[in-house]
Amino acid sequence: MLTLQDVGWRVGATPIVERVTFEARAGEFIALTGRNGAGKSTLLDLVAGLRRPAQGDIAVGGRVLSQWTPLERARAISHLPQTMYVQSPVTVDQLVMMGRYPHADRWFESDADRLAVDQSMAECGCLEFRDRRVTTLSGGERQRVLLAACLAQRPKVLLLDEPAAFLDIDQQLNCFDLLKRQAEAGVLCIAVSHDLNLALEFCTRLIVLAGRTVACDLPVADAVDRTDWLPYFSSRLERVMTSDGRARICYR
């Protein structure tokens, strides 16, 4: 469904990511991890079409991304930015409705659009504050609203830049639970995350960026059995097994 072939991107002459190659299928839930500055967000932006690769090709459904119009792209790919500074007094309802932009070709959205918005808000548990202004929400509530806007887009590929960054632990679990269900429903989810335990618990695949390229790409089922990918994050990590046989990453 998503193919990256030798993808590279640079700022001026400084390469940020190079020779990134991988394929991903519908239904996968990929954790894209790596240290700060490893190029995770850049790679996500490239797949989202926000930046053009300096080398290589990115194809979705067999079609190279640069051939897509912005509207076509937005019907297939949704992207949750890392930070979003909302200053204007939009309501939750209006913000989630923005996800319908690529689908609605009229001045006002249709009943089908409203249905999609209502469904997404129900899925993300934000129906109860649909009429509030986004500026009045807490960080966790806001993240759910933004996620609902992404789901309302009905994407085939869902890209999330640190979706759990500002959430409390329970909300982090809920958020990844929700993404896991999206993946099970056939959406390709790629989430940038620093939380390896969340990744091991919910994701199906782990891609570690280091040295400007993919250092490690393995299914989570394998990752729990191995420890050779831990040094990419820190030398002070170790894997422990819980009493019920689950792998967890701990600090030494």
Partner 1 sequence: MDRRTAAPPHHRTIAPSRHRTIAPPHHRTIAPPQSRTESKWVVLSALAFVAAAVVLPFVGPSPLDLSRVWAREAPDWSILVQLRLSRTLLGLFAGAALALGGCVFQAMLRDALATPYTLGVSTGASLGAVLAIALNWQAIGGVPAIWAGAIAGAACVLFFVLGTSVRQPEISPLGLLLAGVATNSVCSALILLVYGLSGMGASFAIARWLIGSLDAIPYGPLAVFIGTVSVLAALIVRQARAWNLIAMGDQWAGTRGADVRRLMRFGYVSGSVLAAVTVAVTGPIGFIGLVVPHLVRTRLTADSRVLMPCAFFLGGVLLASCDALGRVVLAPAEVPAGAITACVGGPYLIWLVRRRI
Question: Which residues in this chain contact partner 1 in the complex, by CB under 8 A?
Answer: 45, 48-50, 70-71, 73-75, 77-79, 81, 84-91, 93-95, 98-99, 101-102, 104, 107-109, 111, 114-115, 118-119, 122-125, 127, 130, 144, 153, 159, 170-171, 173-175, 177-178, 181, 185, 242, 244, 246, 248
CB of 121 to partner 1, least distance (A): 8
Cα–Cα distance between 203 and 210 in angstroms, integer? 19
**Residues 93/98/99/105 CA torsion (nearest 10 deg):** 120
Nearest CB to partner 1, comparing residues 228 and 244: 244
Contact 239, 230 (CB under 8 A): yes
If the CB atoms of residues 107 and 225 are measured against partner 1, the closer one turns out to be 107
- To partner 1, the closest distance from the beta carbon of 109 in angstroms equals 6
CB atoms within 10 A of CB 217: 16
Side-chain-side CA neighbours of 42 within 13 Å: the count stands at: 21
Q: Shortest approach of partner 1 to residue 97 CB, angstroms? A: 8
CB 163 within 8 A of CB 175: yes
Rounded to a whole number of angstroms, the minimum distance from the CB of residue 7 to partner 1 is 18
Return the CA Rg of the chain: 18
**Cβ distance to partner 1 smaller for residue 30 or 117:** 117
Smaller CB separation from partner 1, 70 or 228: 70
Nearest-approach distance from CB 149 to partner 1, in angstroms = 8
| Phi and psi angles of residue 219, each rounded to the nearest 5 degrees, phi first | -65, 150
The answer to whether the CB of 137 falls within 8 A of the CB of 90 is no
Q: 129 and 140 in contact (C-beta within 8 Å)?
A: no
Tokens for 75?
A: 């019907």
For 190-211, the DSSP string reads EEE-S-HHHHHHH-SEEEEEET
| Min dist. Cβ of residue 30 to partner 1 (A) | 18
**Closer residue to partner 1, CB minimum distance, 50 or 237:** 50
> Nearer to partner 1 by C-beta: 95 or 209?
95
Q: Closer to partner 1 at the Cβ: 178 or 208? A: 178
CB of 141 to partner 1, least distance (A): 9
CA distance 189 to 4: 15
